[in-house]
Amino acid sequence: MVNINTQLQKLSQLQEAQKLQQGISKAPVQPSQSFKQVLETKVAEQEEVKFSSHAEKRLQSRNIELTPETMQRLKNAIGKAKEKGANETLMVFENFSLIVSVKNNTVITAVDRASMQENVFTNIDSAVIA
């Protein structure tokens, strides 16, 4: 008797599973992003320049504004530094400089022209005139 009840219970569970499976297979398939779209999104995220909170504070306190043109120059400079195998780079612009972690695409700090006078930059392995 116990054996028959167990068999009936298993049969009932199997029938429920089949109904669920049929419902799933009949559900409309939602189009998802293509592999190409996902890849392009991830590559764009990696190329995006980030700013540490310290760098953001320095940019603000020293009134350094980064225009779209300056941002493009920064991206190009990071690309050049990457090609040469740089890790921590001093990026020198007309009126300010940035120290950038090239491998992380992250600006670490910013220095205006007045603060650059007689200043020593340590822990960098390269410099780019941007």
Helix (H), strand (E), coil (C) string for the chain? CHHHHHHHHHHHHHHHHHHHHHHHHHCCCCCCCCHHHHHHHHHHHHHCCEECHHHHHHHHHCCCCCCHHHHHHHHHHHHHHHHCCCCEEEEECCCEEEEEECCCCEEEEEEEHHHHCCCCCCCCCEEEEC
Length of the chain: 130
The tens digit of pLDDT for each residue in 42-93 reads 766 667 899 999 999 999 999 999 999 999 999 999 999 999 999 999 999 9
**pLDDT surpasses 70 at 30:** no
What is the reported pLDDT for 129?
Answer: 93
Find tokens 């340590």 and name the residue: 122
What average pLDDT does the structure give for the chain? 85
What band does 25 get if pLDDT is binned at 50, 70 and 90? Answer: low
For residues 82 and 49, the answer to whether their CB atoms sit within 8 Å is no
Q: Which residues contact 50 (CB under 8 A, 6 or more apart)?
A: 104, 105, 106, 107
What is the reported pLDDT for 90?
Answer: 96
Token pair listed for 68: 């779209």
What is the reported pLDDT for 67?
Answer: 94
Report d(CA 59, CA 77) in Å as an integer: 18
